[in-house]
Amino acid sequence: MINNTRQTPSSRKPWSLMRFFIGRVEGVSFAQQADVPGEAGEAGDAAIAFSPTGTPLPDLLDTEINAGVPKAALPVRVLKAIREDPRWLFSIVLAVLVVAAIFAPWVARFDPLAYHPAIASQPPSLVHPFGTDSLGRDQLSRVIYGTRISLSIGLVSILIGGGIGTIFGLIAGYLKGWVDQTFTIVIDALLAFPSLILALAIAAALGTSLVNLVIALAVVRIPIYARLARGQVLQVQALDYITAARASGTRTGKILVSHVLPNIISPLLVQATISVSFAILDESVLSYLGLGAQPPTPEWGTMINEAQTYLTSDPWMMLGPALAIVVTVLSLNLVGDALRDRLDPRSWTRLSVGTSQ
């Protein structure tokens, strides 16, 4: 039914990848196939546009999303998911962004830092789709390198903040008593600060650098995850299997890691997907204000700050970085929402509110 051998597109032209996609879907029922070509076309175009290395999309998706699942089924699975819920289309956009970030030196056609005064402040053209900035640097190349910075800062700050917060929440929720009460006060105190203001103050006090930016963004995420994890632990730990583990003399650490954590991980993951987008927004705001990445670093917020000077004369200078932020945040939000609905349809709560910009 579905061909298990690996194929790669014979050329880099969009239609070959499209045909490749459609070819893969042949085994699927007729009804499912009806919608496929258009979507496959979009997906294929997006992949080609950002992937001059010619890396075939299915390979990337295999490694990105679904390690360990039979490989050839994946494009079909992705298409099926998109058919059921168009929001998953944006997982492809995300994959493209991740690829652009990882392979930035190959994807970008120009050096993001080299000055070329001769071609300064050029409007968008075929060679420079987002134009060039006041120093003649290609805006598209800078945007592509910016993907690296934004995605990695977003991810790392969430990993650190979310990790620490989860550990706090696990311990507080499981041990209860005075430990829990103390933790709750600490969490409440951290939540009392509007997150961006706290991040701003920490970044300002530590001094402007990318590392300090990550620290600031990580700290403000800790209470959110701590509270979420604690709430989940309180629900889970009353269940029989935890009591059983406790009765059989399992050590607390082991219970937490191998019994409690796996059962509370999905809401945390959903929260993580959504808060990466908040972290990226916050990061761009701080950099825009001059408190994060510093010029000449090709960071989106910093680039918009630089473009602002030429707002009236060369307004298109903002185009690239602004578009990059919007597309990235939009994709993360949509995929996060879709993930939340898939993992737990009931959890339509206000997890993500109040942490925005």
Listed ranges 96-104, 112-120, 203-211, 238-246: which one lies at the site for other proteins (CB under 8 A): 203-211
In angstroms, what is the minimal distance from the CB of 348 to other proteins? 7
Is-contact 166 226, C-beta < 8 A? yes
Q: Which C-beta is closer to other proteins: that of 1 or that of 192? A: 192
In angstroms, what is the minimal distance from the CB of 161 to other proteins? 16
CA-based max dimension of the chain: 76
Question: Which residues does 312 contact at the CB level (< 8 Å), separation at least 6?
Answer: none
Here the tokens at position 166 are 């989860």
Q: Is 308 in the site for other proteins (CB under 8 A)?
A: yes
- Interface residue with other proteins, options 60, 149, 318, 338 (CB under 8 A): 318
**Kind and range of the H or E element at 101?**
helix 89-102
Binding mask 49-88 for other proteins (x = CB under 8 A): ----------------------------------------
- Interface residue with other proteins, options 315, 343, 344, 347 (CB under 8 A): 315
SS (H, E, C) 305-333: HHHHCCCCCCHHHHHHHHHHHHHHHHHHH
Torsion of CA 116, 120, 125, 129, to 10 degrees: 70
Rounded-to-integer distance, Cα 73 and Cα 145, Å? 32
Residues 263-292 that bind other proteins (CB under 8 A): 277, 281, 284-285, 288-291
Q: Which C-beta is closer to other proteins: that of 90 or that of 174? A: 90
In angstroms, what is the minimal distance from the CB of 314 to other proteins? 11
- Interface residue with other proteins, options 120, 322, 341, 342 (CB under 8 A): 322
Q: Which of 337, 265, 268, 319 is nearest to 124 (CA)?
A: 319
**Torsional sign, CA 80, 86, 89, 90:** negative
Residue type, 126: L
Count of residues near other proteins by CB under 8 A: 49
Q: Is 196 in the site for other proteins (CB under 8 A)?
A: yes
- Interface residue with other proteins, options 170, 334, 339, 351 (CB under 8 A): 334
Binding residues for other proteins, per CB under 8 A? 185-186, 188-190, 192-198, 200-202, 204-207, 277, 281, 284-285, 288-291, 301, 304, 308, 311-312, 315, 318, 322, 325-327, 329-330, 333-334, 348, 350, 353-357
